[in-house]
Amino acid sequence: MDKNWWDYQVPLDCSWYWKRLVAVKDAFKAKTDLSKFAVMSWSKIVWERLSIPKHRFVLWLVMLQRLRTRDQLHKFQPLMDQSCLLCGGDIESIGHLFLHCHYSSVCLQKLKQRLGWNSASLNLMLLIRWIHKAKRLSVVRKSIMYAVLAALVYHLWRVRNDVFWSNKLWHVDNTVQRVVREIQVRISLVMPKKAKAIDREWVTKFSKS
Ligand SMILES: [Zn+2]
């Protein structure tokens, strides 16, 4: 599905969430000249091989400021409550959800601990740039760190939507576990065979529950 994401058709038996995501993709495709996006500077980051297509897509929408957070919805529905569905403390915006919200920042912190990542930043774009510029990290580690960030963004948006539609808030540990599990499966599928032992050990440490 990696290569054919833009032509992907939704199967009848998939979840409502996946159907909505594919519908957003179709609407986006209809309005956009995709060839222009291939040359954008962050496209390489978004299309990193290790990250999962649905994760990359949501990360892409975040970078384009295209997710309909409550601050956006408020412009069309002035009576709508704008507070964050995850923490209730701030206005829900893309910047807040990714990753300044208390809920998001706790998830991020737990994932950073697993990755042995000392950066204190809660700014998604700065974190992506940090990985990009880090000189001492191997390509394997960088790819996994990008993939983890993309997975976190995807799952935070999913958690947020579960509160929005079902009024159910997942515990942060469940959200972190979902990210770790999906990355584990992905790594087992696409991890380069020549990856160094030190990177393999690091991956094992990340995957430990
Ligand atoms: Zn919040």
Cis peptide before 99, with omega less than 30 degrees from 0? Answer: yes
Share of the chain above pLDDT 90, in %: 42
The CA 176 to ligand 1 mean position distance, Å, reads 16
The CA 1 to ligand 1 mean position distance, Å, reads 33
The CA 138 to ligand 1 mean position distance, Å, reads 33
* Predicted local distance difference test score (pLDDT) of residue 35: 52
Spans of all domains in the chain = 5-207
pTM of full prediction above 0.85? no
Question: DSSP labels for 109-136?
Answer: HHHHHHHT-------HHHHHHHHHH-SS
Question: Does 2 score more than 70 pLDDT?
Answer: no
The CA 167 to ligand 1 mean position distance, Å, reads 15
The CA 143 to ligand 1 mean position distance, Å, reads 28
The CA 177 to ligand 1 mean position distance, Å, reads 20
The CA 28 to ligand 1 mean position distance, Å, reads 27
Distances (CA, A) of 6 to 26, 64, 112, 143, 158: 8, 17, 32, 22, 21
pLDDT tens across 125-158, in order?
999 889 988 888 888 888 899 999 999 999 999 9
The CA 192 to ligand 1 mean position distance, Å, reads 37
The CA 164 to ligand 1 mean position distance, Å, reads 13
* Predicted local distance difference test score (pLDDT) of residue 40: 44
Q: Which residues contact 30 (CB under 8 A, 6 or more apart)?
A: none
pLDDT tens across 164-177, in order?
999 999 999 999 99
